[in-house]
Amino acid sequence: MPPPSGTTAHPPAEVLISEVGPRDGLQSVKTTMPTADKCTWLDALVAAGLREIEVASFVPAKRLPQMADAAHVVRHARRHPGLTVVALVPNLRGAQDALRAGAHKLTLPVSASAAHALANTRKTPAGMVEEVRAIARLRDELSPGTRLEVGISTAFGCSLQGPVPPDDVIRLAAECIAAGADESGLSDTVGYAHPAQVRSLFRRLRAEIGEHAGAAHMHNTRGLGLANCFAAWDAGVRTFDASLGGLGGCPHAPGASGNVVTEDLVFMFQAMGIRTGIHLEKLFAARQALAAGLPGEPLYGMTPQAGLPKGFGQRP
């Protein structure tokens, strides 16, 4: 029997856009955004419908002064009901501080490239797996409900090391899950990936770790960010990292500029009929809060500049 008029047999497809600008973006610019402006920007992102935001990185203030207010920002973000507050932690000490502040989810970068791992965390990939194990134990003791996510950095290549063997990437992801991580995603840290590579590696990841396969974190360094996100979606990925205005990169990966622009990614999925839960006009408004906190910092994005097509349905 066909569904009643006005309904569909299946609900529309849906994706989760995880906004990483307040962490990945802000730690990559020289200017330190004032804490009050960070909170205003976060409020605007939530108002636009973002359900998961990576708000801070728990690293020593001497190393990243942009993140010195991480605990305050986490506590502010927790005021928003229904928002998953994510914090990046590079080590056990960072995890302790993030758990104490009340982050709902910890994300740990584990690089498949030995050269990048040493530059970014001062540990080898094997050493980072042990760090995952220690953090998982700490999480289980202090806050069992907090999720632990691992992002496999330089999964598609490294500007320090060069090619990264896919077998190394998949093995490392599986080891992180075995060490206690809840999910493991793949990151194109330096913008080397192309769609065929993304589709192939995410299919292998999902075949290896199943429901533990996590987000796609793509960069637009060479203009393939959206194409790579589509390839990941085609391979079954349903969570995507992105940064408002394309803010951010990686300070330990030369040339790794340009996170995927949140506004463009949301537009692509909504144009395809895939729900994001995000209101594009309100997302454009959040750019104003970002620009006010970082005056003079260039912001990117084709959709905000061109506007929405005439007749475009504004259903999040």
Neighbour tally for 244: CB within 10 Å:
30
Cβ atoms of 213 and 184 closer than 8 Å: yes
Cβ atoms of 78 and 102 closer than 8 Å: yes
The question of whether 250 is a catalytic residue gets the answer yes
Choose the catalytic residue: 158, 176, 229, 250: 250
Question: Annotated active-site positions, please?
Answer: 250
